[in-house]
Amino acid sequence: MDAVLSLPAEYKEMAREGSTTDQPRLVVYDIGLVQVRLTLWDRSPRPLLDQAQNALDTWDSYNHDASGQSTRTTFKGSDAVQSDITYNKEESPTRVMQLFVVTGDDRMYELRVDMPKGTPTEKKGTAVFKSARDRLEIGPDRAPPPRPRATP
Distance CA 30, CA 79 (A): 28
Residue 148 confidence (pLDDT) above 80:
no
The per-residue pLDDT for range 4-57, each reduced to its tens digit, is 999 999 999 999 999 989 999 999 999 989 999 999 999 999 999 999 999 999
Sort strands 78-87 and 94-102 into parallel, antiparallel or unpaired: antiparallel
pTM for the model stands at 0.89
Q: Residue 38 belongs to a domain with what CATH number? A: 3.40.1000.10
139 confidence band (pLDDT: 50, 70, 90): confident
Looking from the CA of 45 toward its CB, the CA atoms found within 13 Å total 15
The parent domain of residue 44 ranges over: 3-151
Sign of the C-alpha dihedral computed for residues 138, 144, 145 and 148 taken in this order: negative
Give the number of other CB atoms < 10 A from CB of residue 86.
Answer: 16
Domain count, the chain: 1
More confident residue, 124 or 148: 124
